[in-house]
Structure 1
Amino acid sequence: MMASEKENSQLFKSLFIQYRISKIELFNTLDQIQLVGPGSLSISLVTACFVGFVFTLQVAKEFLYFDAVSLIGAVLTIAFVRELSPVLTSVIIIGRVGSCFTAELATMKVTEQIDALYLLHTNPVIYLVLPRILASIVMLPMLNIFSFATSLASSAFICFVLYGIDPVLFFLSSFSSLSLLDIVNSLLKTIIFGLVISIISCFWGLTAKGGAKGVGQSTTSSVVTCLLTVFILDFVLSYLMFSNLESSIKTL
C-alpha cells in the first residue's frame, strides 16, 4: 500500500513538473515572438522606408529619361518583393535578434546555466532553441510583408514629390506586375531565412566557451555566418524560384 502511494506521488510530481515546463516554454515562445516581431517592427519599417527612398531616387530618373513612366512601379515592385524586402528584413533580424539569441545562450553556456537545465531533466534544445526557431519562422514573413508595403508607399511618395508621377499610375503599374507566386516565393524565402538565422545563432550560443571573451567572439561569428549564409541562400533561392519565369513587365 505504501509503495503504491509512493508511486502515485512520484507520478503526480512528474506530471506537475512537465506541466510547469510546458507552461514556461509557452511563455518563452511568446517572449521570443515579441522580440522578433513587434520588437523589430519599427526599425524594419524605417529601414524599408529609406531604402525605398534611395532605390526609387536612383531608378525613377533613368526610366523617365527613356519615357517609360508606366514601368517604374512594376520594376520597383519586382525588386522589392523578390529581393530587397526579404534580404533587408533578414539582415535587420540578424543584427538585432540573431546577435541577441547568441549572446543570451552564450552567457548561459559560460555561466553553466545550460548544465543546470540537464540537472533539472530539461532539454536545452526544446526549452531554449525551439521557441527561438518558431518565433523567427512565424514573424519574419510578417515583417517582410510590412517592409514590402512600406517600401512601395515610400517609392510612390518620392515619385510623386520629386518627379510628379501620379500615385494612381504608379500603383496600377505596380499591381499589374505583382503576382501571387512572387508573394509566395518572397514569404518562402523569409521562412527559410528565419530558420537558418535562428539555428545558426543558437548553435554559436550553445557552443560558446571562454568566458566573456568567448561570448563576444561567438556573437561576432554568429552575425558574420548568418549574413554570408543569407546572401548565398538568396542567390540560390532566387535562381530556383525566378530563373524560369517569364518577364512580369512584357505586357505593360
Structure 2
Amino acid sequence: MLTGSFDLRSTVIGYVLVVQEFTTLCGQAVAGLVRPPWYVRETMYQIDRIGVGSVFIVVLTGMFTGMVLALQGAVQLQPYGATMYVSRLISTSVVLELGPVLAALMIAGRVGSGIASEIASMKVTEQIDALRAEGTDPIQKLATTRLVACVLMIPVLTIITNGIAIFGGWLIARLSLGIDSYFYWTWAFEAIEQRDIVLGLVKPAVFGFIIAMVGCYAGFQTKGGTVGV
C-alpha cells in the first residue's frame, strides 16, 4: 500500500515538474521577443524552412479535403434538393474547423518532429553548452526564432489550405455536380463572416505556438545520446 502511494506521488510530482519546466520554457521564449539581440537571419531561415517547405503538403491536404467535402456534402444535400449549397458547407467547414486543424496536423508531423530532433542533436553534441559558453542564450536563439516562425507561418499556410480546399470543392462541383461557377463562388464567399475569418486565423496561431514549444521542449529535454534523439 505504501509502495503504491509512493509511486502515485512520484508520478504526480513528475507531471508537475514537466508542466513547470514547459511553462518556464514558454515564458523564456516569449521574453526573448522583447529583448535584444533579435536573431533576424535565423528567424527568416526558420520562416522559409517551416513556411515555404510546408506549402506542398498543405496544398495536397487542402485539395483532397475540398474534393471529399464536395462529394460527401452533395450526397447528404441531394435528398433535400439543396446540392447547389454545397459551396456554403465547404467554405464554412474549412475556414472554421478543418483548415486550421488539418494544416496544423500536417505541419506538426513535419515541423514539430524536425524542431525536436534538430535541438536534440545540438543538445547531445554539446552545441547548446557551447552557445552558453559564448554568452548566447540558447532559448532565445533556438526557441524564440522557431516560435516566431511557427506563429507567423502556420496562419499563412492555413489560408493556403482554405483557398485550395474551396478550389478543390469547385472542381468537383463544376465537373461532377454541374453547379454553375458563379453561384458556387458567390455562395462560398457569402457564407464566410468576419468572425469566421478571425477565429480561423487565431486557431492556427495558437496551434503554431503549441507546435513550436512542444518541439523545443522535447529537444531541450533530450538525454542519452543518439538513442535519446
Alignment pair present for 1:49 and 2:63? yes
Equivalent-residue separation in structure 2 for 1:166 and 1:212 (angstroms) = 57
Corresponding residue for residue 204 of structure 1: 218
Equivalent-residue separation in structure 2 for 1:203 and 1:170 (angstroms) = 45
Pairing 1:65-214 to 2, within 5 Å after superposition: 65-214=79-228
> Does structure 1 retain, via aligned residues, the 8 Å contact 2:58–2:157?
yes
TM-score normalised to the size of structure 2? 0.82
Instruction: Please tell me the residue identity of whatever aligns with 1:195.
Output: F
- Deviation at residue 127 of structure 1 after TM alignment: 0.8
Structure 1: gaps (5+ residues): 1-20, 216-252
Instruction: Please tell me the residue identity of whatever aligns with 2:153.
Output: M
Equivalent-residue separation in structure 2 for 1:166 and 1:69 (angstroms) = 12
The superposition leaves residues 145-198 of structure 1 with CA deviations (integer Å, 9 ceiling, x where unpaired) of 111010001101101111111121111221121111101111000111101110
Instruction: Please tell me the residue identity of whatever aligns with 1:207.
Output: Q
Instruction: Please tell me the residue identity of whatever aligns with 1:149.
Output: G
- Deviation at residue 136 of structure 1 after TM alignment: 0.4
> Does structure 1 retain, via aligned residues, the 8 Å contact 2:92–2:191?
yes
Q: Which is further off, 66-75 or 98-107? A: 66-75
Equivalent-residue separation in structure 2 for 1:212 and 1:55 (angstroms) = 43
State the number of aligned residues: 194
Equivalent position SS for 2:81: coil
TM-score normalised to the size of structure 1? 0.74
Corresponding residue for residue 32 of structure 1: 46
- Deviation at residue 69 of structure 1 after TM alignment: 2.7
Equivalent-residue separation in structure 2 for 1:104 and 1:87 (angstroms) = 25
- Deviation at residue 128 of structure 1 after TM alignment: 0.6
Equivalent position SS for 1:58: helix
> Does structure 2 retain, via aligned residues, the 8 Å contact 1:36–1:139?
yes
The superposition leaves residues 42-72 of structure 1 with CA deviations (integer Å, 9 ceiling, x where unpaired) of 1111111012112221111221221013421
What RMSD over aligned residues (CA atoms) do the two structures have, in Å? 1.3
- Deviation at residue 35 of structure 1 after TM alignment: 0.9
Instruction: Please tell me the residue identity of whatever aligns with 2:215.
Output: S
- Deviation at residue 22 of structure 1 after TM alignment: 4.2
Instruction: Please tell me the residue identity of whatever aligns with 1:147.
Output: T
> Does structure 2 retain, via aligned residues, the 8 Å contact 1:70–1:173?
no
Equivalent-residue separation in structure 2 for 1:156 and 1:81 (angstroms) = 15
